[in-house]
Amino acid sequence: MKQVMVNLKNGNVTVDDVPASVLKDGGVVVKNYYSVVSSGTDKSLLDLASSSYLGKARKKPDLFKKVVDIAKKEGPLSAYQQTMGRLNKPESMGYSCAGVVVDASNDISFSIGDRVACAGSGFAVHADQVFVPENLCVKIPDNVSFKQASFTTMGAIAMQGVRNANITLGSNVAVIGLGLIGNLTVQILKAAGCNVFGIDINEEKVLSAKKVGLDDGAERSDDHILDMINSFTKGYGFDAVIITAATSSTDPLNFAGTITRKKAAVVLVGVVGMEIPRDIYFQKELNFVVSCSYGPGRYDRVYEELGVDYPIGYVRWTEKRNMESFIDLVSKGKIELDMLVSHEFSIDDATDAYDLVSGKSDEPFMGVLFKYDPKEIVERKDDGAVKVKKVAGTVGVGVIGAGMFASSVLLPALKQINNVSFIGSCAASGLSAKSAKDNFGFQYCTSDYKEILQDENIDAVIVATRNSLHSTLVIDVLNAGKHVFVEKPLATNKEELEKVISAHKSHPDLIVQVGFNRRFAPMAQKIMKFFKNRRGRLMMYYRVNAGKIPEDHWIYDEKEGSSRFISELCHFIDFCRYIANDEIIDYSFKQISSDSIHAKEELENISMNLKFKDGSIATIMYNTIGDASSSKEYVEIMGEDSFVKLTDFKQLILSSHGHSKTSKHYLKTEKGHKEELDAFFSAIKNGDTNTGFFDESVEVTQVTFREK
**Each residue of 330-372: pLDDT tens digit?**
999 999 999 999 999 999 999 999 889 887 878 889 999 999 9
Asked whether residue 603 carries a pLDDT value surpassing 80, the answer given is no
496, 515, 534 — which closes off a domain? 515
Distance CA 181, CA 677 (A): 51
Identify whether 318 is part of a domain: no
Distance CA 174, CA 160 (A): 16
Distance CA 67, CA 251 (A): 34
Identify whether 608 is part of a domain: yes
Identify whether 314 is part of a domain: no
- 3-state class of 37 per DSSP? strand
Q: Is there a single domain that holds both residue 491 and residue 572? A: no
The whole-number pLDDT of residue 188 equals 98
> What's phi and psi for 34, nearest 5 deg?
-145, 150
The whole-number pLDDT of residue 119 equals 98
Closest CA to 239 of 219, 212, 217, 267: 267
The whole-number pLDDT of residue 387 equals 57
Number of domains present in the structure of the chain: 4
Distances (CA, A) of 119 to 34, 153, 295, 349, 575: 12, 6, 12, 22, 44
Distance CA 416, CA 674 (A): 7
Burial class, 103, CB count within 10 angstroms (exposed 0-12 / middle 13-18 / buried 19+): middle
The pLDDT of 653-671, averaged and rounded, is 90
The whole-number pLDDT of residue 621 equals 96
Distance CA 620, CA 623 (A): 10
Distances (CA, A) of 526 to 43, 540, 646: 51, 16, 11
290, 325, 353 — which closes off a domain? 290
The pLDDT of 596-610, averaged and rounded, is 76
Give the burial string for 365-389 (b: 16+ CB within 10 Å, else e).
Answer: bbbbbbbbeeeeebbbbbeebeeee
Asked whether residue 382 carries a pLDDT value surpassing 90, the answer given is no
Asked whether residue 140 carries a pLDDT value surpassing 80, the answer given is yes
Q: Is there a single domain that holds both residue 358 and residue 410? A: no
pLDDT-derived band at 626, boundaries 50, 70, 90: confident
Distances (CA, A) of 296 to 218, 288, 317, 645: 33, 18, 7, 49
pLDDT-derived band at 386, boundaries 50, 70, 90: low
The whole-number pLDDT of residue 60 equals 66
The whole-number pLDDT of residue 51 equals 72
Identify whether 383 is part of a domain: no
The pLDDT of 573-599, averaged and rounded, is 87
Q: Is there a single domain that holds both residue 656 and residue 552? A: yes
Asked whether residue 393 carries a pLDDT value surpassing 60, the answer given is yes
DSSP string, 129-185: EEEEEGGGEEEPPTTS-HHHHTTHHHHHHHHHHHHHTT--TT-EEEEE--SHHHHHH
Q: Is there a single domain that holds both residue 507 and residue 537? A: no
The whole-number pLDDT of residue 7 equals 82
Distance CA 475, CA 496 (A): 10
Q: Is there a single domain that holds both residue 431 and residue 536? A: no
The pLDDT of 694-704, averaged and rounded, is 95
Identify whether 412 is part of a domain: yes
Identify whether 498 is part of a domain: yes
CATH of the domain at 528: 3.30.360.10
pLDDT in tens, 246-303: 999 999 999 999 999 999 999 999 999 999 999 999 999 999 999 999 999 999 999 9
The whole-number pLDDT of residue 599 equals 60
What percentage of the chain reaches a pLDDT higher than 90?
A: 73
CB atoms within 10 A of CB 106: 6
Bridge partners (DSSP) listed for residue 344: 369
What percentage of the chain reaches a pLDDT higher than 70?
A: 92
Bridge partners (DSSP) listed for residue 542: 620, 635
The whole-number pLDDT of residue 203 equals 94
Residues in the chain: 708
Q: Is there a single domain that holds both residue 222 and residue 351? A: no
The whole-number pLDDT of residue 333 equals 96
Identify whether 24 is part of a domain: yes
Amino acid at 345: F
The whole-number pLDDT of residue 434 equals 92
Q: Is there a single domain that holds both residue 137 and residue 174? A: no
Q: Is there a single domain that holds both residue 173 and residue 255? A: yes
Host domain of residue 355: 2-147+337-371
Q: Is there a single domain that holds both residue 349 and residue 470? A: no
pLDDT-derived band at 164, boundaries 50, 70, 90: very high
- 3-state class of 100 per DSSP? strand
The whole-number pLDDT of residue 40 equals 75
What separation, in Å, do the N-terminal and C-terminal C-alpha atoms of the chain show?
Answer: 50
Q: Is there a single domain that holds both residue 140 and residue 161? A: no
Dihedral sign computed on CA atoms, order 328, 330, 332, 335: positive
The whole-number pLDDT of residue 691 equals 66
CATH of the domain at 95: 3.90.180.10
Strand intervals (E) in 583-686:
584-591, 606-612, 617-623, 633-639, 642-647, 651-656, 659-664
The whole-number pLDDT of residue 316 equals 96
- 3-state class of 461 per DSSP? strand
CATH of the domain at 482: 3.40.50.720
515, 538, 569 — which closes off a domain? 515
Asked whether residue 383 carries a pLDDT value surpassing 50, the answer given is no
More confident call, 560 vs 531: 531
Q: Is there a single domain that holds both residue 556 and residue 642? A: yes
The whole-number pLDDT of residue 87 equals 72
Distance CA 152, CA 140 (A): 10
Identify whether 639 is part of a domain: yes
Q: Is there a single domain that holds both residue 92 and residue 142? A: yes
The whole-number pLDDT of residue 56 equals 61
